Amino acid sequence: MTDVSPGYDSLSPQRFPVVVVGAGPAGLTVGNILRAASVDCLVLEAETREFIEQRPRAGVIEEWAVRGLEKRGLARNLLDRAELHTACEFRFGGERYRFAYGELTGSHHFVYPQPLLVRDLVHEYADVRAGRILFGVRDVRLHDVDTDHPAVSYVCPGTGERRVVHCDFIAGCDGARGATRAALPPDRVRVARHSYGIGWLALLAEAPPSADCVLFGCHERGFAGQMPRSPRMTRYYLQCPPGDDPENWPHERVWAELRERLAASGAPPLTEGRLVEKRVLEMHDHVVQPVTHGRLHLAGDAAHLVAPIAAKGMNLALHDAFLLGDALVARLTTGDDGGLAGYGEASARRVWDYQEFSQWLSEVFHGTAAGDPFRAGTTLARLRRLFTSPAAAAAFAEQYLGTAARY
Ligand code: RFL
């Protein structure tokens, strides 16, 4: 279904200061920042509004990101409804080890499902700030991005006609499989890639969480994780071979494996429920550099993908959106180019820091199951150090929460 915000069809000529491609957390946040400064923009989204408001994905949002949303008037529902998490629990060697990072740092995570955040951001952008958004567009193409008169064209869902929108800037926020990244010249762009050679079976269960915090099970049979999403929904992960078929994981096998990998003395039994999502994710990362070419600026997963090991992707998408939204507003309202000139560099510092942390945490999660006694030994040392060395615990908490003073 196509959903068009009121007044869209009467727009003439087709010209906006900014065209945002993609209505995920990054694109919608950029759009909202622009609208708050009365900058006109058009968001082009390939899917329907219903689809993006229900697509299950992230849930863990870092406190600085929530404060960034709050500062921009985008966190009302989140602050009312999100759960606060102040601890996570590692399970290894048949024991439970609670890591109370809230006590250690005074900081916490917010748990708020991504589809709810997307719903809030679409509502605020389209219904409150009167931003223009077009859903269900096909075949988005960028034109003349290295000139000062770029354009975006797309196939209109209603008529099947190709339409052209002229603009000053394009925000490429269309995720890891979007179209905007292809507009970067291949001879000037570098995509740095890392593959873990590991798969995760990502599961969403219609069941209350089995513990009040995130669980990380580091087990010889492979990693298992539990992430509470709401009082009725829980995300679970099971390490599996890359490319595994979700059909190899019937209900009974999933729960038996979760029970085994998350077993620990004194742990309450897992609360089972219907599995409403079951898909295999390949654990890989990449970073695109540079993220700016002429009038095109990439943000979020379009610019960098981080495997969900440390729950960082949406946080990075929001970080980019704050930087890019503010920089576009400065450029378009006062002519100040500084924010846009420094955007790629400012984004990349946090991106690389989070990539490094994900890689470090990946070894903690997967080292025990690598079939290599040496890696199993060093993994155990890493885990023990978190609970024996205050300095190691403080460093972990800082990275897990994204609270470093500088990136
Ligand atoms: P999105 O959310 O992918 O949004 C991109 C939007 O662009 C649209 N699109 C197009 N539109 C027009 N034309 C095209 N050619 C288009 N191609 C695509 C898409 O339909 C979509 O609406 O990117 P954005 O905004 O950069 O946000 C990134 C986050 O969604 C992502 O990083 C997170 O979901 C990653 N992630 C997590 N991140 C966290 O910070 N905390 C978590 O707890 C967390 N858990 C997760 C996750 C990702 C997961 N999956 C599915 C990989 C858990 C999972 C299972």
Looking at ligand 1, which residue's alpha carbon is closest to its atom 35? 313
Distance 372 CA to ligand 1 centre (A): 34
Looking at ligand 1, which residue's alpha carbon is closest to its atom 9? 174
Q: Which atom of ligand 1 is nearest to the CA of 301?
A: 26
Q: Which pLDDT score is estimated for 145?
A: 97
CA distances from 281 to 18, 127, 245, 246, 351 (A): 33, 34, 10, 10, 20
Q: Which pLDDT score is estimated for 130?
A: 96
CATH assignment of 84-109+196-284+370-401?
A: 3.30.9.10
Q: Which helix (H) or strand (E) is 43 found in, with range?
A: strand 41-45
Parallel/antiparallel/unpaired status of strands 234-240 and 224-228: antiparallel
Q: Which pLDDT score is estimated for 13?
A: 53
59 in contact with ligand 1, CB cutoff 6 A: yes
Q: Which atom of ligand 1 is nearest to the CA of 281?
A: 52
Looking at ligand 1, which residue's alpha carbon is closest to its atom 23? 175
218 in contact with ligand 1, CB cutoff 6 A: no
Residue with tokens 């082009």: 44
Where are the strands (E) in 108-223, listed by range? 109-111, 132-135, 138-143, 151-155, 162-172, 190-206, 214-217
Residue 183 CB neighbour total at 10 angstroms: 23
CATH assignment of 14-77+113-192+285-356?
A: 3.50.50.60
CA atoms within 13 A on the CB side of 44: 28
Tens-digit pLDDT profile for the chain (407 aa)? 344 444 444 444 589 999 999 999 999 999 999 999 999 999 999 999 999 999 988 899 999 999 999 999 999 999 999 999 999 999 999 999 999 999 999 999 999 999 999 999 999 999 999 999 999 999 999 999 999 999 999 999 889 999 999 999 999 999 999 999 999 999 999 999 999 999 999 999 999 999 999 999 999 999 999 999 889 999 999 999 999 999 999 999 999 999 999 999 999 999 999 999 999 999 999 999 999 999 999 999 999 999 999 999 999 999 999 999 999 999 999 999 999 999 999 999 999 999 999 999 999 999 999 999 999 999 999 999 999 999 999 999 999 999 999 99
Task: Measure the CA–CA gap between 62 and 401, rounded to whole angstroms.
Answer: 6
Contacting residues for 156 by C-beta, under 8 A, at least 6 apart: 137, 162, 163
Q: Which pLDDT score is estimated for 229?
A: 87
Q: Which pLDDT score is estimated for 158?
A: 87
Domain-wise residue ranges, the chain: 14-77+113-192+285-356, 84-109+196-284+370-401
309 in contact with ligand 1, CB cutoff 6 A: no
Residue with tokens 């809030």: 120
Distance 399 CA to ligand 1 centre (A): 22
Q: Which pLDDT score is estimated for 8?
A: 44
Q: Which pLDDT score is estimated for 1?
A: 34
Q: Which atom of ligand 1 is nearest to the CA of 307?
A: 52
201 in contact with ligand 1, CB cutoff 6 A: no
